[in-house]
Structure 1
Amino acid sequence: MFFLLSKIGEFFVNPAHVAILLAASGVALLFTRFAKTGRTLAAAGIFALVVMSFSPLAIYLALPLENRFARPAPDSPAPDGIIVLGGAFDENISMARGGVAFNDAAERLTAAVELARRYPKARLLFTGGSAALRGSPYSEAQVAGRFFEQMGVDPARLILEDKSRNTFENAVFSRELAAPKPGERWLLVTSAMHMPRSVGIFRRVEFPAIPYPVAYRTRGYWTDISLHKNAADMLRLTDLATHEWVGLVAYRLSGKTDALFPAP
């Protein structure tokens, strides 16, 4: 039920969707006796779209998330395992085209390959089924297996988890498959913006992995206040950051994380 509600809720908490619906509702009301209300709603929707598209709002939403966790020091002890969260593939396009179709979180995979080469004794666990609301005949893990094979990763050290539909299930199923022993060190590779929620969830299921954030979308400083010309990118960043903030609240209220805003 949580998965179903979260997938439906994603549509309605998307800031761009809310702004567009406000503007569209306002325009529709212009042709009724509620024209005054319509003008207010239309103006509010358009104003919100302009702010999200051309102001640093998205950066201010994303920065606290991306700056929350740093990568471990280069001289840290070698890990026993590396966990890579799904979310970097389009499994349906990949399987239909017979290749590997990445999205804008592809650095999760390139970082995983680099770490696998740096730590040749570490196990590599990829976790990702399908997040499609109606399900899918394919899983991200299938595509990941193909990708890692192409990159020359030894299949003997690879663990593929293909049932999870969200981050909480990523953590639960990863712990079952990894069966971490006391004292083992596992790196957790995911997008920097997604890391706070991921860390909280892994701690909640008693699998305290070491954050290794990748796929940054900001430059990391608050003075980055210039107007941004690419409206589509800024709307996308606003959506992603809002998704994570709402996710932190929802997962905390449902008991799926150990803190509202997990700290290092």
Structure 2
Amino acid sequence: MFELKKILGGLLMPLPLLGLLSLILLIFALKHRKLVITLSFLSLATLLLASTPWVANLLIKQNQPTSLAFSINDHPSIDKIVVLGCDINPNPALSANSQLGNCALTRLVEGIRLANIYPQAQLIVSGGGYEKVTNSALMYKTAISLGMNKSRIVQNPNAMDTAQEAAFLASKLVDYNTVLVTSVSHMPRAINLFNAQGITVIPAATDYHNFAAYPWYKQLIPNAKALLVVTQFAHEVLGDTWIKIRRTINPEAL
């Protein structure tokens, strides 16, 4: 079921969805030439527009509030710092930090920064993986290589998505001041899932983007970074929708 959810979710992202739709429409173009070519044009045009910094910024500007960033002045003490997993690139020939994707590295850097500010806090690195390599293990090794004492770090290697991360960690976070580190686009859904487990967390959002700062001549030129951010936005929309569907079917679902 987990694999099926990930496959279907992946296929519904902008690039595979619009790309496959265009391919299917072109295949049927021989029979319904005018209609299918029109739809193919619209599909490809949508994909190109979704890849522009201008459209990306329109989508995300209301979903990246700075209020989700961590404020040191508001929190004199912290007990736990939870860093949620993200992308990895397993390769045993590389160091641990080189196997972490940009998203995972950005989150880990924020977690280590907070751990240095709160030297008594425990750092919890979370996330499963594949090819016998886990996100949490790579974060653990990277944090140690950057000067963290391994006695302060706890791994959560078996969680394959945010719901599992919240479920597996809940018992370790009860009655503690807990900071949650994740990407700003992912933060609302992550807070929702941790709250459902009875855990109140303090957000420490990272991985912000500001395409409005791009020069005007770059705003309408498609690029891979803008498409990646739009894909992350779509992923969160699907994730929120999935939670609502599950809770509609079963009000007890977390």
After TM superposition, the score normalised by the length of structure 2 is 0.86
Contact 1:69-1:196 within 8 A present in 2 as well? no
1:160 aligned partner: 155
* 1:65-119, Cα deviation, whole Å (9 max, x unpaired): 22274224321222111000011533x22x3434322322121011111111110
CA RMSD across the alignment: 2.4
Query: Which of 234, 243, 250 is the aligned partner of 1:251?
Result: 243
Equivalence map 1:189-228=2 (5 Å): 189-218=181-210, 227-228=219-220
Shift of 1:158: 1.0
Residue segments in structure 1 that go unaligned for 5+ positions in a row? 257-264
Contact 1:19-1:44 within 8 A present in 2 as well? no
Equivalence map 1:1-264=2 (5 Å): 1=1, 3-30=2-29, 32-54=30-52, 56-67=54-65, 69-75=67-73, 76-90=75-89, 92-93=90-91, 95-100=92-97, 101-105=99-103, 106-130=105-129, 135-176=130-171, 178-181=172-175, 184-218=176-210, 227-255=219-247
Contact 2:57-2:211 within 8 A present in 1 as well? no
Alpha-carbon separation, structure 2, partners of 1:9 and 1:57:
25
What SS class does the counterpart of residue 247 from structure 2 fall into?
coil
Aligned-pair identity (%):
22
Q: Residue type of the partner of 2:188?
A: P
Greater share of residues in helix: 2
Q: Residue type of the partner of 2:165?
A: N
Contact 1:27-1:38 within 8 A present in 2 as well? yes
CA gap of 1:55–1:73, structure 2 versus 1, over 3 A, is: closer
Alpha-carbon separation, structure 1, partners of 2:33 and 2:246:
41
Alpha-carbon separation, structure 1, partners of 2:211 and 2:230:
15
Residue segments in structure 2 that go unaligned for 5+ positions in a row? 249-254
CA gap of 1:11–1:71, structure 2 versus 1, over 3 A, is: closer
Alpha-carbon separation, structure 2, partners of 1:218 and 1:137:
35
* 1:7-46, Cα deviation, whole Å (9 max, x unpaired): 012222111222212222232223x222123212211212
Shift of 1:202: 0.5
Q: Residue type of the partner of 1:65?
A: N
Shift of 1:253: 2.2
Alpha-carbon separation, structure 1, partners of 2:160 and 2:179:
21
Structure 1 runs (4+) deviating above 4 angstroms are none
Alpha-carbon separation, structure 1, partners of 2:70 and 2:207:
16
After TM superposition, the score normalised by the length of structure 1 is 0.83
